[in-house]
A and B are shown apart, each in its own frame.
Chain A
């Protein structure tokens, strides 16, 4: 909300309080002032236009003015035609800087002398109005502009949603007065009431269909108004707050909205059928031509103000064009009502239309505010537009606002704040904020919040009121702690446990990424991994409409992006949840298995892919080993995203963790990645669950014996099977066996391969002899021959 410093001065004495001071105090009270714009008008003078004629030779339309500046007349050229002779206008003389930053110079325009500038409201930062030169309604030529318009300071403040009362200058001023401990000059409820006969309620019939949607409707009748422009000070303040002046009646309703936070509306009484006001839901197919010139189609879940025949306003959002106050209006019906917040919000959203009024109603205004706003507006209308205000307005109030009392044990203030606030000071603060405080016999305080504070309902709310005015800066920081006789022992967090995997990955050249969990559902479908996908019903866009069922597609995109940006070798990983809807039940939360996924690029050839696959396998084995979990085994498998001949299921203790493999060429191609990409994705939680504390083994006391063995078998025989046979047939003396080479070529028959192993033999009791090892080796060979028809190369 925009706050005019000048306007606040109506309600309290700001002597010695600069706009910056005020902004600081408000921020400390909870009204966060996000920006402060100072508009210095002291350099601008008032001029009176004596003559105006159009520039004869300029290609753009320009007007030449002779302007009386009190002691001399100056020629000034302007691009707008509205400064007709007789107008009082703000003039920036050569050498001055206009508030919008423009420096004015003596110059010639198309051969004509131009000494100074006639200013628009826009250039003076008094509003966004580009309509032309600002025309003043008073002032003496040659005087400073500040004799009629004070220098301005505009604060942009954020009002929290629990304080609709602060969405007007009176509410802001009340806070500032409490913060500064100065008296507020204005009572909440104006005394003004109308006096004209007959009673207003006899002139218009008001009915409310549903008190849940509208708890109050006041319709005040004011007859014989003179519609015209509102005074300059009112227009200036409206402009300062971003509201366009229209005519005195409409301006007054807007002015009071910006003052009391109570939205108001004025109807041309003559155009209301009945005249009657019916607060009801819209009927199907009803339409309304709104004040902004747009015709809107209404639906039955929208609340409207109707006359005897048709809707004339959308409740709490916008008025209708046909019943608006115009220059021809004589009699006015002034509406001050209360509408339900959720209903106004829903309507405003459905129409895509947020107005000053709807922004306030959405936050649930107190119905008592309606009367205060109506009285203030009626008094301003009678003062500025004439007209007679009728007595005893129609005031349909089916749900009167219930007063809320709160009991406060005053010690709670110190208990919650953690510092001592003297009771007199606490009481004084509450009173400054218009709370009634009654100290009861038992020492408790019986507190009645002011009618405009629906947000205060529990003792803690009162502690907050005291605390924020007392000043939280005065609460010393402390750390909690006391002697305890029970506790929960600490355990390393999930993330700390995963760090050992991150270390292995970092050491292997893999960089961690964090990718959005919301991805394109269409892409998941194209990859055929959308079976258990959860779709967002209100996505922002279709590339973020579904929760990922796998982390891999995100990483594939990361590879593509970094390739696009010139990186050839990309090795990345992510640790994040995948989301899998539980079958058959839409309303239960999905499974969120934590996944570790990694991808690495390789060269273009099949051999490049093969080598990369084994390297990646080492990385995965390293991650598992870093957690001291049992080693994984790999079983030939086929899975979505993976190459049919180069994919394995990753299995730990009989449980499948995920897959590792080369990406299917079509998957890489779809992501526009050239060459081979290898990847894995596993569930992390079972690995963590299987993680053990490593137990130290005694170091070997006797030397080991190493032997190499090159085994020639048919292509179809898996290295894993050979390893299993070796381990099985070797007995206790085999300490370690490792496959280190796979060879096809000249020395191996067609359809065969040679697999090379290194075997380490060791006894914990003695030094092995060659003969002993030879014996075991020949047993291994026999087993390999028998089971795999293996032959051996020397």
Chain B
């Protein structure tokens, strides 16, 4: 039978020499194991002792246990601290090695730009209206003052299915349908959607494209309100240093009619090669809604007036992302689509 204090010294010495957690575990089992641990073994034959001796041995053994446990805990803390202190060397990785490809898909750049436009105009209280792509002659042309034989109609050369049905040349039919449906102004809507014109494909235009048109019908709207709306939209999309100008033009469905331009983003309006030295880039058309068009939508022009505008989403995306060929949007080459 050994003496508790001698056993304790022996255990503490072993703990002091231990270098790893595994060694500490082995020491723990050797001395403190529930069955067969050397500390427990000190109590073998305690039954033969008298009560006083019993009590003193029990106390000594408990002290030995606590001392060994405390030494183990201290040593463990020391080992852990030194392990953590060495992490920089032991577990260093090459952080310059690139991550594996994510394989994420991309949302089409035209969807992204359309979303930005919608978000900006929704913030002004406009709501999205949609309509059919195959339209009737009346909604596409007649209701917009583009009567048969009108000289302006050649700008909206269209694909026909028969004398009555055609692919819409603009989203303006949605404006008429919206006025007819909503009936009671105020009306503040935007009409994004696909359109079709019979133009041979080239770098700047395609027989299919996408528009966002806007329409406001209310009391006492002005050319100034139209300018402000366009300016708010352009500055929200391209930055507050951009300017907008409206230039008189002609559309049968607005009076007065305009084209609207935005200052060139490259030269800031001074004139450069990319804006053909004009300082301005053409964006779209706009104007005050023609009274007859309001009437065709079931709105009384004596009580209400309105303004409308329209532009190509592709054009906006080209300006924003420096895309120089409109065909890229519809060619579906992943090398292009994955850039956005």
Contact = CB atoms under 8 A, between A and B. Distances in A.
Given A163-B250, A477-B227, A491 B162 contact: no
B118 A493 contact: yes
Contact of A511 (B115, B118, B122, B338): B338
B259 interface: yes
A517 B133 contact: yes
Given A518-B159, A537-B162, A590-B134, A512 B106 contact: yes
A243 interface: no
B160 A418 contact: no
Interface string B73-92: 00000000000000000000
Contacts of A417: 222-224
A352 interface: no
A499 B124 CA distance: 21
Nearest to A463: B256
A226 interface: no
B229 A512 contact: no
B56 interface: no
B82 to A, nearest CB: 39
B128 interface: yes
A558 B337 CA distance: 12
A468 B133 contact: no
Interface stretch (A89-97, A191-199, A479-487): A479-487
Interface string B114-126: 1100100010110
A464 interface: yes
A494 B227 contact: no
B128 A495 contact: yes
A122 to B, nearest CB: 24
Interface in A450-486: 458, 460-461, 463-464, 467-468, 472-473, 475-480, 482, 484, 486
Which of B106, B200, B256, B305: most chain A CB closer than 10 A? B256
Interface stretch (B12-20, B26-34, B44-52, B148-156): B148-156
B59 interface: no
Contacts of B194: 517, 576
A595 B312 CA distance: 23
Given A418-B224, A514-B110, A342 B128 contact: no
A602 to B, nearest CB: 15
A536 B114 contact: no
Interface stretch (B1-9, B61-69, B240-248): B240-248
Contacts of A509: 103-105
A408 B219 CA distance: 19
A540 B200 contact: yes
Contacts of A576: 194
A416 B133 contact: no
Given A477-B227, A544-B207, 5 more contacts: A32-B249, A458-B255, A460-B256, A537-B162, A561-B333
Interface of B: 103-108, 110-111, 114-115, 118, 122, 124-125, 127-128, 130, 132-136, 148-149, 151-152, 154-155, 159-162, 164-165, 167, 182, 184, 186, 192, 194, 196, 198, 200, 207-208, 210, 216, 218-225, 227-232, 244-250, 252, 255-259, 276, 288, 290-291, 305, 329-335, 337-338
Interface of A: 27-30, 32, 35, 160-163, 341-342, 345, 362-364, 415-419, 458, 460-461, 463-464, 467-468, 472-473, 475-480, 482, 484, 486, 488, 490-491, 493-496, 499, 502, 505-518, 534-540, 544, 547, 557-558, 561-562, 565, 567, 570-573, 576-577, 579, 586-587, 589-590, 592
* Nearest 8 Cβ contacts at the A-B interface: A418-B222, A418-B224, A30-B248, A464-B256, A160-B250, A493-B128, A342-B149, A477-B228
